Structure 1
């Protein structure tokens, strides 16, 4: 059994924790969380973190024509989650670049590490389907969090 350290980032980077309950719809025929649903839990956590710091992705698309898309995922499935488990999605900001953000995301049950991923999100001009610089307000807010 792997455990998540109390402070997994020695620099003290900002963390966002989203509680998640496993429902029947999240499980596969064996009664464990279907592998793709871990990515769904991570998506919800990133979206809620942005919302918590004042940014809504639908508004960004409508106002600026910009969207966040997943560019890459590196994930390790370490132990299964099961029906009714109370989980936490722990998200950290690992890297901030001109047009992308890399998040570290872990899913834990108590102190047990179940899932560990690095997920790179690209900012794109939705009309041109090309990379675009992160909006200045988001970049500024994320830089502030990164310095925490």
Structure 2
């Protein structure tokens, strides 16, 4: 019997990069970011001030939201007289202050330290009641 000579190539080196560990690491990082993203506290937002505002109408119903989130109503023509109101009686008080004229605008003046949620609640209540002209009071930039 002739001697068998094996020409086996032996172990061949792989010239490709194995992507499976890379994909595993990326998926773990993605999960970590997804879990921690809701826990990050939002940064403070510096809201822009208004450089030029239009002239305020003469007969304005003003809803004032104080620091303690208490509501006050100022009637048109009598800005020095304020009436304390509750959230439940807001719409009725505004309708009464408008004297049946739906074109009287309602301006919401909120303290700088009031939560945004309180302002949105007032705006939402007025909008649901069908009050058309609702605006926000702003401070002019120096």
TM range (shorter): under 0.3
TM-score with structure 2 setting the length: 0.24
> Whose strand proportion is higher, 1 or 2?
1
Specify which structure has the bigger relative contact order, considering alpha-carbon pairs within 8 angstroms and separated by 6 or more residues: 1
TM-score with structure 1 setting the length: 0.23
Structure of larger gyration radius: 2
